Structure 1
Amino acid sequence: MAGYYQPVSRLSFIGTTQTLIPPIVTIVTPKGSHLRYLTILFMIWIFTLMLYPVEKQPYITTLSACAGGFGIITALDILLLNPKQAADFMSDSTTSNNRTTNKITRFISIFRAALEYQINARKINTPREAKNTPSLPRYYAQGNGSKSIPRNKFLVRETAIAAWQYLVLDIATMPAIKMALSKQQEEQDLSAQVHKPSPIEQLIEQVIVAIVAWLIISRILMSFYYRMIAVISVALRLESPEKYPPLFNKMADAYTLRNFWGKFWHQILRVTFTAVSNFITRDILGLAKLSLLERYTNVFCVFFLSGVLHLTMDVIVLDCTVRESGSMVFFLSFVLGYMVEDGVQAVWRKLQGSQDAGSSSGKEPEVWKKALGYVWVSTFLTVMSAVYFEPVRRRPERQVGMIPWSVAEVIGVEVMGGLVVVGGVVLMVVYKVEV
């Protein structure tokens, strides 16, 4: 079906189906049921149906493409690896009213609890909560004697931050800038024969692109949609504010590759990917727990799964082939990056002797070590992002529409820039926002 473009509605339907299947099967089948194994195969088949590009790229395209693949991993977790069943999602009220409650009402209540458990990817406020999940902002503890966060206080702060993030995304993606960049590219192409950028100029450009893409745009984009979900859920009283800690930790934590992915970056995929990787390394391969081989095999499995998930999004969103996508190369490169990083740190601790070896974890590194770490992380991201962003560079018209409509087109770039600067200062002073 070469040249076939699927409608966004079709992709959204498949993504939603992949999200709903695991909780339904969880509550209608007992643990160990053969139907659960068949469900995994069925979901893989459904997943193959969505591997076609879409013609238009609203942000929902990325979410639906991600849901299709992530749904399979989630199903493996809650159906087979850490199996749940209906009884695990029965509340005390549901159990006490078991005789009088309508069967349909009871099913809906249990299904809702199972769906919430699945959507709660970081398993917030559960025994399986993802490691390094950010704590709730200190702002909510000010003048709050009770443990619970006031709903209105949460809604006002998060809405203000979301509005500011929307303006930043608008500036980053508005058509005027895209046209200017396109014109600039044409001028550069015409003058390429006269002046070819030096390697230093090209390197500086790549560093800026990588840092802006990873530390600013991607972070703000994901945080914005996460924050909007939080605001809507809390406003409708579907969830409490405590269920929505920040999505990202502080950028200052990203002075090693491990810290970048394991602490600064969102931990949405961590619980389910780790469950699958542990099953492969310990149950299938039988590797000794905490051994060096088990450690890096786990790292390989997690980044392999992440590569496959992002490869899927490349095929659907960017309309590129498997060979053209840089996702697998990008994510698997961090396995080697971790090895190099761990090796250098081990050699350094050995050279320092027992004075530093015992404090390698828990003690904050010196400033100069952090500075070297930032250079290392920036360099690695810059080099590997060139491969990862290549499909986007070749297909600028396939870039995802990050926001539905532009405010900048109405009020102008200058006013928008002023709002972003002033708004950022207000957020830091009034709402104690940290970066």
Structure 2
Amino acid sequence: MDLNSPSAWSILLTQWLLVQLLTGLTIAFSQPYSKVRPAVTVLVIALAYSFQTQVHQTLAETRARGPLAAMCWVNVLNAIDLLMSSRVSFDEQIAWMTKCGQSKTADSSYWRRLVWSIEMAFNYRRINTPWQIRAVPAFDRHDPGFVPDKVKFLRQCALRVCGSLFVVHFCTLDLRDAHLAGILSEISDSKKVLLPTWGEWTARRAILQMLFTISFGLLTRAAILGTYSLLAMFFVAVGAYEPVDWPPVFGNVSDMYSLTRVWGIAWHQILRKLVTSNADILLYDFLRLPHGIVARSLRLIMAFATSGLVHFFTDQGFGLSLNQSGALWFFCLQVPGIALENLVWWTCRGMINRMGFRWRRAIGYVWVSLFFLWVTPVWMNPIILRLYQDGQKVPFLMFGCLFS
């Protein structure tokens, strides 16, 4: 199909937007247990399937197909939570705002209901609603109730955008770099990178892989932080929202001393509600499992497996197949990592509690660093090599050239 054809893009755009529009309108104009909701849920899933089929045919040769398909299924997960799990409704939102003393802003007009329906469809963390996730970072961790004024907020956003652009520039190598080919020859896109033989490793290879991993993490964080800050700056600047509606997207880096805290506090929580609520529906509503260690373990597995699938769809945008992508490996390996953490805590709790605060933190940071240095290459290396093949910049700390 011709990519320049208006009909090709109009069909895709209509299907993608309908997923969000149907979800938002249903939660805004129906009761929490209305029989309309299951029907809309089925319709949304059908639309997403149709969209994925169309996007693979229409955009088969473009990078957009992966991220578009990934976000479409993210929106399906979001719809299932809004419609069937959290049972979100506009009336409950108004009641909550009135209870919290926001009666002046608790506008229940038809127009406000329409605007709210669109906002909620994209409010993945449920900010300023009764369904807000617990792990939304505060503007000031020492003063959780603090909200910056508009000028200070815009200044902070501008600094974050500039900082993110600096990281993107600093942590990438251009194809014209004379050392790039030699550097890339040291990394492998094989799954064996998880269990390499001792003879395969040299000090140079280990250092280069470490630099790739660090730069990949910095770039990923910078891309998310920069995009979020740019959107926040725009919407607050034009007066559409207040700073309180755009809390930080990431927690504090100092909290990254365990895998549980990395994924539960420090990293962005955009997908948290979506993946956990859908796991809850399957495990507790359909399978009727009791709340115990088995259900919690299955919930953890499902959450990370779902995240892996979402990121696999994104990897398709780089031209990677299911066999080539390491997204599922990376996210599913978080489960045994967290299980090991819990086992160590359960068996060595007394000794850990007797340690000094700084020692506990230091050991935690070392553990988290080593774990991610081990698991990240299986996801990162195929992406980097594909970027190089396609003539794109690749993630790498600039001072890494010293090792070439």
Matched residue SS, 2:138: coil
Q: Which residue of 2 aligns with 1:209?
A: 212
Query: Which residue does the alignment assign to 1:306?
Result: 307
Structure 1: 5+ residue stretches without partners: 99-105, 190-195, 358-363, 403-412, 414-435
Q: How far apart, in 2, do the equivalents of 1:127 and 1:259 lie? A: 24
Distance 1:208 1:26 in 2: 46
CA distance in 1, matches of 2:371, 2:172: 26
Distance 2:186 2:319 in 1: 27
User: Which amino acid counterpart does residue 132 of structure 2 have in structure 1?
Assistant: E
**In structure 2, which of residues 69, 75, 80 is the aligned counterpart of residue 76 of structure 1?**
80
C-alpha distance after superposition, 1:411-431 (max 9, x if no partner): xx9xxxxxxxxxxxxxxxxxx
8 Å contact from structure 1 (residues 43, 72) kept in 2: no
Whether the 8 Å CA contact 1:89–1:113 is kept in 2: the answer is no
Residue equivalent to 2:68 = 64
Map of 1:171-210 to 2, 5 A cutoff?
A: 171-173=170-172, 175=174, 179-185=177-183, 198-210=201-213
- For 2:191, the equivalent position in structure 1 comes to none
1:394 to 380, 385, 393: 385
Matched, 1:120 2:123: yes
Judge conservation of contact 1:69–1:312 (CA < 8 Å) in 2: no
Work out which of the residue numbers 357, 371, 378 in structure 2 matches 1:366: 357
Corresponding residue number in structure 2 for 1:255: 257
Deviation, structure 1 residue 88: 4.7
The aligned length equals: 368
What stretches of structure 2 of length at least 5 have no aligned partner? 98-102, 188-198, 399-404
2:258, 2:364 within 8 Å by CA — same for their partners in 1?
yes
369-378 or 245-254: bigger deviation: 369-378
Q: TM-score, normalised by structure 2?
A: 0.78
- What secondary structure does 1:318 align onto? coil
- Name the residue aligned to 1:109: 112
Length-normalised TM-score, structure 1: 0.73
How far the C-alpha of 1:329 sits from its partner, in A, is 1.4
Structure 1 pair 292–45 and aligned structure 2 pair: CA distance change class (3 A): same
Note the C-alpha offset of 1:147: 6.3
Offset, 1:297: 1.0
Match of 1:281 in 2: 283
Aligned 1:23-422 pairs, distance under 5 A: 23-27=24-28, 29-30=30-31, 31-33=34-36, 34-49=38-53, 50-51=55-56, 55-57=61-63, 64-85=68-89, 87-88=91-92, 106=110, 108-137=111-140, 149-173=148-172, 175=174, 179-185=177-183, 198-214=201-217, 216-289=218-291, 291-315=292-316, 317-349=317-349, 352=351, 356=353, 366-397=357-388
Measure how far apart 1:128 and its partner are.
2.4
Task: State the Cα distance separating 1:344 from its structure 2 match.
Answer: 1.1
1:189-222 deviation digits (Å, cap 9, x = unpaired): 9xxxxxx9853332222222222322x2111110
Q: Aligned AA for 1:319? A: G
8 Å CA contact retained: 2:67, 2:313? no
Q: 1:307 touches 1:327 (CA, 8 Å); kept in 2?
A: yes
SS of residue paired to 1:156: helix
- Encode CA deviations 1:230-265: one digit per residue, 9 max, x unaligned: 001101111110111111112221111111111110
In the alignment, what sits opposite 1:192?
none
Give the letter for the 1:111 counterpart.
Answer: L
